[in-house]
Amino acid sequence: MLDDARVGLSEGDLVSAVALIKKAKESSSLSWQQIAIILTSLGLSATGIWLILIAVADPEPTSRLGILLTGGVILILTGGLSILRALGQTWKVSKGKKSFAIEPS
């Protein structure tokens, strides 16, 4: 394993999620609240992926396909954006007459 970010992680830290969380808490300035937000956001994203897989594997007609796909995409996006927000990334939204732009700030 190569620790290219020089965080100080070893192969033993990656054996379990608990060891990884402890190492993240020790090596950075993440608070327990930020770690909880990140874990919750990962759960949201995983649920979104699960919904999309259910939509694709569903043998019934496409009556629920749009709902499952839309819900899955929304959960994945909100989970990912919540992780970035917990790590300190913010965005600036600018809108025009017929368009809008989201840029990191």
Q: Between vectors from CA 42 to CA 7 and to CA 91, what angle results, nearest 5°?
A: 80
Categorise residue 6: left if φ over 0, alpha if ψ from -120 to 50, beta otherwise.
left
**Res 33: pLDDT:** 84
Mean pLDDT of 87-100: 79
Answer whether residue 93 shows pLDDT above 70: yes
The H-assigned helical ranges of the chain are: 17-27, 32-57, 65-86
Return the closest-CA partner of residue 78 out of 46, 34, 31: 46
Determine contact, residues 57/67, Cβ cutoff 8 Å: no
Residue 3 or 36, more confident: 36
* pLDDT band of 89, cuts 50, 70, 90: confident
**Res 8: pLDDT:** 65
- pLDDT digit string, tens, across residues 13-38: 666 767 767 776 776 677 788 888 88
pTM over 0.85: no
**Res 75: pLDDT:** 92
- pLDDT digit string, tens, across residues 43-85: 999 999 998 888 888 777 677 788 888 899 999 988 888 888 8
Determine contact, residues 86/41, Cβ cutoff 8 Å: yes
